[in-house]
Amino acid sequence: MTYEDLVPVIRRLAIEAGAKIMEIYNSDDFDVKVKSDESPVTAADEAADALISEGLRAAFPDMMLVTEEQSDSHKERGDTFLIVDPLDGTKEFIHRRGDFTVNIALVEKGVPTRGVVYAPAKERMFFTLADGSAVEETGAFDPDTIGETNPIRVASSDNAALMVVASKSHRDQATDDYIGKYNVRDSKSAGSSLKFCLVATGEADLYPRVGRTMEWDTAAGHAVLAGAGGKVVRFDDHSPLVYGKEGYANPFFIAYAPAVELKKA
């Protein structure tokens, strides 16, 4: 598998999955089930997962695949794999808030190197090119043809006036306490992996996450942010956030533009 082979496939599958998700999102009603970990799942999660998994297994049969909606895949172990969250931000989807994304990423030796984040309700798509740089695509999102793309780059942050983005559904006092350590010009809330992309485009400088996430929640956004010059580190010791961990659970983390002077937890 080459990056030139990978990027068109994950982009196409994200767009096709997004179309499935929007069919259900725009319907009059849809069922919401609760998984064993108490998190919600809808027909949109399941339909998108089936489409993406089938596409990835057909294109890259020898590559390990981890996907949120297939618990058997969580038993797989390795440091190089494809990882999928077919609908990140299910709570945003259920409440029809639009801040949900399709996430597909490649992790190599514990590092997310290529990825796509597609927010179909917001009509925004971010992905890494074969060379690893990150772009935002604008236009009609034709599954088979990449449209106009604009390179994205993190901000040259002003530490006297930072823009912070935080979780819409999971913001808490611990998050606010940490944000309070910085000189903040403004803050905004956003759902799903869009927060990584807002840092990647320079629309925000800092995204601290003091709460539970899984690797499929973060890998694609992490790859896009890295391709735009950003970083993602552990909250506790500021070491790089690595992937392929036991159970695929993340520690707390901080995503940021490198000009930001990070504060201790």
CATH of the domain at 40: 3.30.540.10
* 261 inside domain: no
* 113 inside domain: yes
CATH of the domain at 179: 3.40.190.80
- The reply to whether 87 sits in an annotated binding site is yes
Domain count, the chain: 2
Given 125, 151, 177, which residue is the final one in a domain? 151
* 265 inside domain: no
Taking CB atoms within 8 Å and a gap of at least 24, the contacts of 23-31 are 25/93, 25/96, 25/120, 25/121
147 and 90 both lie in a single domain: yes
- The reply to whether 194 sits in an annotated binding site is no
- The reply to whether 262 sits in an annotated binding site is no
Given 91, 123, 151, which residue is the final one in a domain? 151
Please give the pLDDT value at position 38.
65
What gap in Å lies between CA 154 and CA 172, rounded to an integer?
Answer: 26
Please give the pLDDT value at position 235.
97
pLDDT digits (tens, 9 = 90+) for 199-216: 999 999 999 999 999 999
Contact assessment for residue 200 and residue 155, using Cβ atoms and an 8 Å cutoff: no
194 and 85 both lie in a single domain: no
24 and 145 both lie in a single domain: yes
- The reply to whether 108 sits in an annotated binding site is no
Please give the pLDDT value at position 67.
97
14 and 65 both lie in a single domain: yes
Given 151, 179, 196, which residue is the final one in a domain? 151
221 and 104 both lie in a single domain: no
- The residue count of the chain comes to 265
What gap in Å lies between CA 56 and CA 135, rounded to an integer?
Answer: 22
Please give the pLDDT value at position 31.
77
Which parts of the chain register pLDDT below 70? 36, 38, 169-170
194 and 98 both lie in a single domain: no
**DSSP H or E stretch at residue 190:** strand 184-190
Please give the pLDDT value at position 41.
75
Please give the pLDDT value at position 40.
73
- The reply to whether 129 sits in an annotated binding site is no
- The reply to whether 217 sits in an annotated binding site is yes
- Pairing assessment for the beta strands 40-42 and 32-34 based on DSSP bridges: antiparallel
- The reply to whether 68 sits in an annotated binding site is yes
8 and 136 both lie in a single domain: yes
User: Domain of 238?
Assistant: 162-256
134 and 194 both lie in a single domain: no
pTM: 0.95
